[in-house]
Structure 1
Amino acid sequence: MSVSKPANDVQVAVVGFGPSGAVAASLLGAEGIQTLAVDRDRAVYDKPRAIALDHEILRLFDNLGVAEPLSPHIAPFPASEHFGARGQLIRRIDMVSEPYPLGYTPTMVFTQPPVEEILRAHARSYRSVVVELGTELRKLEQAPDGVTLELCGDQGTRNVTADYVIACDGASSAVRRQLGIGFDDLVFDEPWLVIDLRVNASGLAKLPRTAAQFCDPSRPTTYIVGPGSHRRFEIMLLPGEDPRAMEQPEQVWRLLARWLTPDDAALWRAASYRFHALVASKWREGRVFLAGDAAHQQPPFIGQGMCQGVRDVANLVWKLARVLRGASGEALLDTYQDERSAHVRELTSRIKAIGHVICERDPEAAAARDERILAEGGGVPRTITRQEIVPPLSCGLRADVPHTANGTLFPQPWIMTSGGRQLLDTMCGAGWRLVLRADSAVARSRAIASHAVEIGLRLIAIATADHDQLPYILREESDVVTDWFARHACAAAIVRPDHYVYGVAADEAGLAEMLSGLEARLR
């Protein structure tokens, strides 16, 4: 009689417990997946690094139930005014106007240390998640049925086996290096000094009220308004300047003299960086996946660094959960690299383009740049939104029938209830959904409703007025979804657990075919 091999110690091991790793552990915990998260550092780094997040990420945090405790450490990201070589306003980058498409302020700033502490604590709250800090990965070895990790920590050196590994262990990822995975260089390499300050009342009175980008060829500089008294300057270093010497307080205050003196603020952090544009050549090696800075690094010019890492794990975890439950085959996991690598590369190329505009050092080229940007606005500074810079998913698990809505984020309206208003996700969750326009013929199709439920989709119909004929109709407050359906000329949207649109349909026949296609691809 044969003896079956025992199950692995855990289903998923998460290596690295920064923001991406902590969110990955929470998402896995919410799915009830047995998870071990490890990090060689015991404490959260006590100075800010990431500073921006957007409504997609806050929506995910809210889905996890952690948005409210994070709120004291988050504030709206004001418009960023771009000033040209002569100090003239040449354009603004702002957020889209209300009603906000996902229900939250579209772009925000945050203070990383307390936010990271809350994310870590939340991950630990799941019964299926074990967190071991002060624990270093020494090596890993893969087999057809699992991964063996050699860990060194408080329990000494030991081996742990896992079905899968998510490597969130940062830009110098030990996992990536052990797997022999290199970076594709997207050709951006600039030295900058990042300065974080706690500014007092006298200093706040001297500083711009909005974020600012000083596109001055003599010294390009970014200014960011953080929560409370937190302010950040990112200042380009010039040829010949020693990055470490420029971190010293006397040099920092020399660079800030245009705006502040030491009497106006306390220096919180000064760190020199090379702003890179790098993407891992592979995101998956067998049962090991790269995520966050282990998989990509991009310049910070629209504050998408941490957002990209959280998008990675949000994309991956629901797929892992399906595979671990036996609801989908391993091929589903290949869509992780397809989707996220293409998305990161496209967004990084857009960020690079903004960076090249900002970093122009030639005075004549800078003057020509200013004229061109102003001409794009008809001679006056135009406003573009941060949201239009972030691309949709361009490939992977999307409907075969092409449509501009495929791969975009599905909106989240406020829903009117007898007890007040609630966000759509709060009422309906964040799994697979079929969202219908309540006044359409497809919303009344029993065959469609039956098929959708059979393959695991939750039915939601959105109306702008009270309708009583269907049990799953919800009335939205501000026509966010109604206008979205009209804009995309459709009556139904299949929405993935990560809120991206799988596909849309205008009639019952098209939707029936799309549901059958989805069923085949998932199973």
Structure 2
Amino acid sequence: MRSSSKHDYDVIVVGYGPTGLCAASLLSKLGYSVCVFERWPTLYGLPRLIGFDAESARMLQTAGDIYTALKESYPIRRYVTYDREMEPLVEYQWSEDHIAGYPIKTATYQPYIEDGLDEVSRSRGVRVNTGWQVTGIEQDADGVNVTAVPWSKEEVGENLKPALAKTTRAKWVVGADGANSILRGILQPEIEDMPYRAAWLSIDIERRECLDPKYMYGTSWQIAEVGKVIVIVPAGTHRMRFEVQVDPDGDHSDLLKEDVAYEMLEDYLGITREQAEIVRLTIYPFGAMMVKPWRFGRVFLAGDAVHRMPPFLGEGAASGMRDATTLAWKLDLVERGVADPSFLDTYEEERSPHVRHHVVVSVAIGEVVTESDPEIAEARNKELREGDAPPPPADPILTTGVLLRDANGEITAPLVGDLAPQGWIHLNGSTGRFDDVVGWGFQLITRDVDPLSLLDDEQQAFLESIGAFSVGVTTKADAPGLATDLTWAYDRFFDEHGIEAFIMRPDYYLFGTVGDIADVPAMVDSLRSQIAGTVPAAAAS
């Protein structure tokens, strides 16, 4: 616990969904005292998030108990879109794992993810206040006062108890209280609403033993029926989600009856109530928006509080977790005293354009998938049948902020801003995934040489000051002091891209790469100048 006598905690996190859970866990992992206010009395306990990507899995590996989080999960290796006659229109396959060390897509069950993060957070001393709603914040030069009151949901509405209000003080506040963020309402940022709205009727089921396994494993699929898209997505090994497009402005109260939902399952998929049990039935409206700014002095917004997107990429929760991960390491550098508080402005500078890519692409996919004009939809299907399907969207990279640049501010080294690899290694008697064996933070990784042997005392001291890990990896049999690259993940990565070393940021993105091992000291110096000074502006395009 690092909080001073002036503060009750180092950080207050408002909201305890995936973004808030990740923020609380990572900040406590870094040694900070954390207090959470969540208005609901318990974790949600039902699936909203039912899938994530490899980058999210690596974040869960760092922030929580990955084995709890991945309980009953299953890799999604195939995605198929059919027309109304069940003829395939487009198919994507992901047979290989991602360089982050996990399947590209994984079907999962959100309560297990929340359990894996919550249990670790509480074990590190995070104070979790459930059933408390934040009603006000006041900040000064040294901290933020957060006022919260007991809250509960009653049949006739909300129940607040202002007489029992309490005020808690922290150095920093992270607002991760979702799409209907109360903190955002208090701060009043500018909201950019994007002109796209749609809705699903969402039916979550648990399988019974007699259900055909084709509905449960390895494949997500949708039926592109005009005006009524149908989506079938596994939610781990025991559950699945069935979604039907509905009018976002319509009254769908009749559809929220279990008997009607069972009839729909049988009519569309041949699934009977003897084969599956409905566990959640809801109308899920969705749209898209972005917010600016993300920072208000000592208060930061994250996750759905600053960006919202349609579900077509499955990146909503992952984007919030990226926010939490990025903000955690930047706050840590400021609290360590190695970066000025102005360094925190790079949080929005980096994350906003990155997540905008996901928002814009999600909207574009949604506009195509949910097309309600029969002629346009049939023309779309015709193009897909003829093999004109676009490739799966590429992962966005970082293009702004703390990245290796040349003297002109240009990014010229390969892969800068892209995701870094994670393989299995053996080092000092331990075997496992790199982050588990070495640790979470900045990573300086070199090929066949100890990176510290390349650096002077001042450079080594800088790396120590930011909590960096410096490791040489090798495939050679006898290389004392180096990590054995058991799966050849790093060796292949170096060969494929013509590099000999890289620095990974704590959010798993590459700060820089070098093709000549002699350039490692200059790369370290560049990182030091950007953390300690002003991040150079990207060259004008």
* Common topology (TM > 0.5): yes
Structure 1 position 431 matched with structure 2 position 441: yes
1:53 touches 1:108 (CA, 8 Å); kept in 2?
A: yes
**Mapped partners of 1:118, 1:444: distance in 2:** 34
**Mapped partners of 1:115, 1:478: distance in 2:** 27
Equivalent residue in structure 2 for 1:392, among 390, 397, 410:
397
**Mapped partners of 1:94, 1:206: distance in 2:** 16
Structure 1 pair 139/166, CA: closer, same or farther in 2 (3 Å)?
A: same
RMSD: 2.5
148-157 vs 323-332, which moves further: 148-157
Give CA-to-partner distance per residue, 1:85-127, whole Å, 9 cap, x none. 55321222333514x4122223212212243233222211113
Give CA-to-partner distance per residue, 1:356-385, whole Å, 9 cap, x none. 2211222322232233335456xxx78x55
| Structure 2 unaligned residues grouped into runs of 5+ | 151-160, 533-541
Equivalent residue in structure 2 for 1:369, among 380, 383, 390:
380
Matching residue of 1:221:
230
**Mapped partners of 2:64, 2:262: distance in 1:** 41
Aligned-residue sequence identity (percent) comes to 29
Aligned residues: 506
SS in 2 for 1:341: helix
**Mapped partners of 1:511, 1:334: distance in 2:** 27
Matching residue of 1:453:
460
Instruction: State the TM-score, normalizing by the size of structure 1.
Output: 0.90
1:284 touches 1:337 (CA, 8 Å); kept in 2?
A: yes
SS in 2 for 1:306: helix
Structure 1 pair 395/418, CA: closer, same or farther in 2 (3 Å)?
A: closer
SS in 2 for 1:172: coil
Matching residue of 1:289:
300
- One-letter code aligned to 2:277: A
**Mapped partners of 2:103, 2:516: distance in 1:** 33
CA-CA distance at 1:517 after TM superposition = 1.7
1:219 touches 1:238 (CA, 8 Å); kept in 2?
A: no
- One-letter code aligned to 2:52: L
Structure 1 position 198 matched with structure 2 position 206: yes
Structure 1 position 103 matched with structure 2 position 101: yes
- One-letter code aligned to 1:116: E
Structure 1 position 140 matched with structure 2 position 140: no
1:445 touches 1:508 (CA, 8 Å); kept in 2?
A: no
- One-letter code aligned to 2:304: D
SS in 2 for 1:203: coil
CA-CA distance at 1:31 after TM superposition = 1.0
Structure 1 pair 427/121, CA: closer, same or farther in 2 (3 Å)?
A: closer
- Aligned 1:328-477 pairs, distance under 5 A: 328-376=339-387, 384=391, 389-401=394-406, 402=411, 403-416=413-426, 421-438=431-448, 446-448=453-455, 450=457, 452-456=459-463, 457-468=468-479, 471=481, 473-477=482-486
1:492 touches 1:511 (CA, 8 Å); kept in 2?
A: yes
55-64 vs 232-241, which moves further: 232-241
SS in 2 for 1:398: coil
SS in 2 for 1:139: strand
Matching residue of 1:131:
128
- One-letter code aligned to 1:465: K
**Mapped partners of 1:188, 1:300: distance in 2:** 12
Structure 1 pair 158/211, CA: closer, same or farther in 2 (3 Å)?
A: same
Matching residue of 1:120:
118
- Aligned 1:149-228 pairs, distance under 5 A: 149-153=146-150, 156-204=164-212, 207=215, 210-228=219-237
Structure 1 pair 262/406, CA: closer, same or farther in 2 (3 Å)?
A: same
SS in 1 for 2:320: helix
Matching residue of 2:48:
49
**Mapped partners of 1:114, 1:477: distance in 2:** 30
1:78 touches 1:225 (CA, 8 Å); kept in 2?
A: no
- One-letter code aligned to 1:433: Q
- Aligned 1:476-487 pairs, distance under 5 A: 476-487=485-496
**Mapped partners of 2:64, 2:280: distance in 1:** 31
1:182 touches 1:280 (CA, 8 Å); kept in 2?
A: yes
1:29 touches 1:35 (CA, 8 Å); kept in 2?
A: yes
Structure 1 pair 239/117, CA: closer, same or farther in 2 (3 Å)?
A: closer
Give CA-to-partner distance per residue, 1:452-503, whole Å, 9 cap, x none. 52221422222222252x62x2221333222222232221111111211001
CA-CA distance at 1:196 after TM superposition = 0.4
Matching residue of 1:236:
245
- One-letter code aligned to 1:371: K
2:416 touches 2:513 (CA, 8 Å); kept in 1?
A: yes
Equivalent residue in structure 2 for 1:324, among 335, 348, 353:
335
1:54 touches 1:108 (CA, 8 Å); kept in 2?
A: yes
2:69 touches 2:114 (CA, 8 Å); kept in 1?
A: no
| Structure 1 unaligned residues grouped into runs of 5+ | none
- One-letter code aligned to 2:358: L
Matching residue of 1:298:
309
**Mapped partners of 1:291, 1:27: distance in 2:** 14
Matching residue of 2:34:
35
**Mapped partners of 1:444, 1:337: distance in 2:** 32
SS in 2 for 1:33: coil
Structure 1 pair 487/23, CA: closer, same or farther in 2 (3 Å)?
A: same
Structure 1 pair 239/475, CA: closer, same or farther in 2 (3 Å)?
A: closer
CA-CA distance at 1:320 after TM superposition = 0.7
